[in-house]
Structure 1
Amino acid sequence: MGKMPASRLVLNPDELNSDPVPGMDLAVKLGIGQLEIRSAEGANAVTLPDDRVRYLRTLAEERGLKVAALASPLWKWCRPEATPERVDTFGFPTQVPPEERLGWIERAIEAAVILGAPVVRVFSHLRVEPELTEQLLGDLLLAKALDLANSAGVRLLLENEPVCTVAHAESLLEVLDRYHGQGLGLWLDVANLHEVGQATGEVVSSLAPYVGYVHVKDYRPAADGGGRVFCPAGEGVVPYGQVLPLLHAAQPGLPYALETHVRDTPADALTSGAAFLRSAVPGGVA
């Protein structure tokens, strides 16, 4: 029987600082060998010129690190005439004219190739006024993007994002069933799934065959009963104890990316999160 591939830890340097160096150095300190790139130098990574993207890769390689994923903002957008909620796109506009979108898709794929990132995150259009909300299913641009990604040797992974149109299991499965054969996979954010009340064993098992990447963050309900407070992974309400063994059983060797969102002490939260994942994922993570 062949040896199962080891699960991998991934760290996003911008969780620590807009300067990527402290986050990369923390990854080395924690024995994490892979990075997720989302923003750097105060700008979204897909907006950086080629030389700055190459510099990010150089910084990583100087430390023995590889880029596991480009966390792009693609499809976390709406038409200019729509009114989006306040959402975090890390320096990328939310209102994007349709005629500009293909250019951004091409740019994200180019950036991924420069970084050596095998996967690129996509979303599913922001939910705005009902008459202006666009749908990912049947979006001709998605089919075009999948072709471009396949030609470039990278894979597009859809994140389940509550502010976007595809966040619940039913719509996720509908989109993934349709486009999986063209290369689309799932960038599973377990906390987002819990936020919509679906981080159950049954749902995770149904989604697991499509998962190519896992975002890990955690939170507790705010003391005043309104909203939530982010905390280190394993210290909140997201049911990782149930979910992680199911994911590992279905897809051994997944990358687990720490996305702490703890603003006051991000390095401590990332350190705690890494220790939690190493103990919680069956077989551990490298």
Structure 2
Amino acid sequence: MTSTPASTLVLNPDELGPDPVPGMDLAVELGIDALEIRSAEGANAILLGADRLRRIRSLADERELRVAALASPLWKWCLPEATPGRVDSFGFATQVPPGERLAHVERALEAARILGAPLIRIFSHLKVGGLTESFAEDPMLPRALELAEQAGVRLLIENEPVCTVADAQSLLTVLERFHDAGLGLWLDLGNLHEVGQADPATVEALAPYTHYVHIKDFRQAADGSRRFCPAGTGSVPYDELLPRLGALRPALPYALETHVRDTPAEALAEGAAYLRAALAKVLP
């Protein structure tokens, strides 16, 4: 009998703060052997110099941890003359002149090389009214995909609600067009819930393109805001979504993105336990 490959749990050290060491140590404590790197030492990862990136890689190697993905801010930007809303970009500028963007792609590819990350997250331009850019028609996208292929990494688009490609239909349109060129999906199930499409049918449609999964959970507060909580304790219907996704794609990385500010370590531990139990029900 052929065994089914196991899914991988991933932890982002910056959920615990700018020093990556506590997050890495928590990963070891929780039996998680893969990391997602987004920011460290107070800076976005793609803005860190080579020496600082090598230090992060060394800290991971010392703990026998590998870097599963680089959570870059690429394409979470708009034109300099546009006015973006409140955007969480982890220390990266949101207004970027087109002439400077390819250099950021090249920096991200170099950061991924140093860290040993085979996957790089990208977005799809911020929605900024009449100045919103088209991701599918961005002339830099084919070049970035070509450079990524040459570097041996894959670019994955995240379904981010503040960006132009967030709902299922727009995702499928872009992925069907660019998947053969190397573009894949960084599926955030919490974001899918935020746009009202967190259902098994949508997950089934997106599954063939999915290479990485973000797991976060939240409850809706009385004032309409989101209150983040450990995975499995909020309103995201993971009990419906994970069985379908796990059945279709049994060997995916699942990255815990708690966003719980007061007790992040406890939230990550609780989320990891929930996720392991949920995935154990899916895999034979």
Band the TM-score falls in, shorter-chain normalisation: over 0.9
The reply on whether 1:163 has 2:145 as its aligned counterpart is no
Q: What pairs with 1:220-239 in structure 2 (closer than 5 Å)?
A: 220-222=219-221, 224-239=222-237
- Residues 228, 278 of structure 1: alpha-carbon distance in 2 compared, 3 angstrom cutoff: same
The reply on whether 1:84 has 2:84 as its aligned counterpart is yes
SS in 1 for 2:255: strand
After the TM superposition, which of the residue ranges 110-119 and 135-144 deviates more from structure 2?
135-144
- 2:278 corresponds, among 252, 277, 280, to 280
* Offset, 1:3: 1.7
Q: Which runs of 4+ in 1 moved over 4 A?
A: none
Aligned partners of 1:208 and 1:247 also within 8 Å: yes
User: Which residue of structure 2 lines up, in the alignment, with residue 48 of structure 1?
Assistant: 48
* Offset, 1:4: 1.4
TM-score (structure 2 length as normaliser): 0.98
Aligned partners of 2:46 and 2:108 also within 8 Å: yes
**Following the alignment from structure 2 to structure 1, what is the Cα–Cα distance between the partners of residues 271 and 280?**
15
SS in 1 for 2:251: coil
**Following the alignment from structure 1 to structure 2, what is the Cα–Cα distance between the partners of residues 17 and 236?**
23
User: Which residue of structure 1 lines up, in the alignment, with residue 60 of structure 2?
Assistant: 60
1:236 maps to amino acid:
G
**Following the alignment from structure 2 to structure 1, what is the Cα–Cα distance between the partners of residues 63 and 265?**
18
SS in 2 for 1:281: helix
Aligned partners of 2:54 and 2:115 also within 8 Å: yes
Aligned partners of 1:7 and 1:284 also within 8 Å: no
Aligned partners of 1:245 and 1:282 also within 8 Å: no
Aligned-pair identity in percent equals 67
Q: What pairs with 1:191-202 in structure 2 (closer than 5 Å)?
A: 191-202=190-201
User: Which residue of structure 1 lines up, in the alignment, with residue 123 of structure 2?
Assistant: 123
Gap regions ≥5 residues in structure 2: none
* Offset, 1:283: 5.3
User: Which residue of structure 2 lines up, in the alignment, with residue 103 of structure 1?
Assistant: 103
2:237 maps to amino acid:
P
**Following the alignment from structure 1 to structure 2, what is the Cα–Cα distance between the partners of residues 201 and 5?**
22
**Following the alignment from structure 2 to structure 1, what is the Cα–Cα distance between the partners of residues 245 and 114?**
30
User: Which residue of structure 2 lines up, in the alignment, with residue 113 of structure 1?
Assistant: 113
* Offset, 1:225: 3.2
Q: What pairs with 1:106-255 in structure 2 (closer than 5 Å)?
A: 106-130=106-130, 132-222=131-221, 224-255=222-253
2:91 maps to amino acid:
G
Aligned partners of 2:246 and 2:282 also within 8 Å: no
Aligned partners of 2:9 and 2:34 also within 8 Å: yes
Gap regions ≥5 residues in structure 1: none
2:5 maps to amino acid:
P
SS in 1 for 2:87: coil
SS in 1 for 2:129: coil
**Following the alignment from structure 2 to structure 1, what is the Cα–Cα distance between the partners of residues 224 and 5?**
42
**Following the alignment from structure 1 to structure 2, what is the Cα–Cα distance between the partners of residues 92 and 158?**
17
* Offset, 1:205: 0.4
After the TM superposition, which of the residue ranges 241-250 and 186-195 deviates more from structure 2?
241-250
1:101 maps to amino acid:
R
* Offset, 1:140: 1.4
**Following the alignment from structure 1 to structure 2, what is the Cα–Cα distance between the partners of residues 61 and 284?**
31
Count of aligned positions = 283
* Offset, 1:282: 3.7
**Following the alignment from structure 2 to structure 1, what is the Cα–Cα distance between the partners of residues 79 and 2?**
49
Aligned partners of 1:78 and 1:84 also within 8 Å: yes
Q: Deviations over 1:107-145 (max 9, x none)?
A: 001100110000000000000022x10011121111100
Aligned partners of 2:247 and 2:282 also within 8 Å: no
The reply on whether 1:271 has 2:272 as its aligned counterpart is no
User: Which residue of structure 2 lines up, in the alignment, with residue 31 of structure 1?
Assistant: 31
**Following the alignment from structure 1 to structure 2, what is the Cα–Cα distance between the partners of residues 211 and 98?**
28
TM-score (structure 1 length as normaliser): 0.97
2:17 maps to amino acid:
N
